[in-house]
């Protein structure tokens, strides 16, 4: 049985723990802060071992796979130890995507993500499709993969969530816009943040689509100097 360690006891971490338990991993969740009573009840209900208030290295560094909550920076001490031991550290989005064949629309950008995600979900639902909405909205993607049977998902994705992907790819990716944000997580280099946003398209093929604001300077510059296999669909204000 493979050991799955979850770092962070919030929505995404608890969702990943539920999915991991369902897929017969040996699951352990650790949060250096406090876990809300709501989530502790969920973990106890699913018989998932957890700790709060500290990280016990001996219970974490024996993992086969680690799912890290997006709020935990790559430079956190426990993450650096895991990477030193070459233990894979991925996001909940990466983990959950391995267990669904649903069509995925992934939406990122510095502004407008939530509005665009809710509008897209509304349109698809109005077309009588069974669609889940997740990412930074509502129940976690992982929990929905574990408990629902949606044919499609619309995911609102932050740069932090995209930093933790390896093979995840949306069939349709949308980048609303890019402006300087969260630069403390990116060595105060705007280009690192832009690259992080474009991870949404890194695994796309010619059968997939990238919808983007053609008037956004950061997006236009990236596309001039980099390539994606996705079919490009620009929009203009």
CA 210 to chain centre: 18
**46 noted as active-site residue:** no
Q: Choose, from 113, 121, 177, 197, the residue flagged as catalytic.
A: 113
Cα 143 to its chain centre, rounded Å, is 13
| Of 182, 189, 226, 229, catalytic | 182
Measuring CA to CA, how many Å separate 206 from each of 56, 79, 202, 210?
Answer: 45, 34, 12, 10
Query: Residue 144's Cα: distance from chain center in Å?
Result: 13
Is 40 one of the annotated active-site residues of the chain? no
Catalytic, out of 55, 136, 177, 197 = 136
Q: Is 6 helix (H, G, I), strand (E, B) or coil?
A: strand
Residue located via tokens 């502790």? 40
**Residue 113 is among the residues annotated as catalytic for this protein:** yes
Query: The dihedral of CA 79, 91, 144, 167: what is its sign?
Result: negative
Task: Give me the active site residues, please.
Answer: 113, 136, 182
């Amino acid at each position: 049985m493979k050991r799955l360690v979850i770092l962070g006891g919030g929505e995404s971490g608890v969702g990943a723990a539920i999915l991991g338990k369902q897929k017969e991993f040996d699951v352990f969740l650790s949060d250096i802060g406090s876990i809300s009573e709501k989530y502790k009840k969920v973990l106890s209900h699913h018989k998932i071992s957890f700790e709060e208030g500290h990280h016990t290295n001996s219970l974490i560094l024996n993992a086969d796979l680690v799912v890290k909550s997006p709020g935990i920076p790559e430079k956190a001490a426990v993450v650096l130890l895991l990477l030193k031991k070459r233990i894979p550290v991925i996001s909940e989005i990466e983990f959950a995507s391995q267990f669904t064949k649903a069509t995925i629309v992934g939406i990122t950008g510095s502004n407008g993500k939530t509005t665009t995600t809710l509008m897209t979900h509304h349109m698809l639902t109005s077309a009588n499709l069974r669609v889940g909405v997740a990412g930074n909205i509502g129940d976690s993607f992982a929990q929905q993969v574990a408990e629902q049977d949606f044919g499609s998902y619309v995911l609102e994705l932050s740069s932090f969530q995209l930093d933790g992907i390896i093979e995840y790819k949306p069939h349709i990716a949308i980048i609303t816009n890019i402006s300087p944000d969260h630069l403390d997580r990116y060595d105060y280099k705007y280009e690192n943040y832009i690259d992080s946003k474009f991870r949404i398209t890194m695994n796309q093929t010619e059968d997939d689509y990238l919808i983007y604001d053609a008037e956004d300077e950061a997006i236009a510059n990236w596309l001039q100097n980099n390539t994606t296999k996705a079919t490009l669909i620009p929009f203009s204000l």
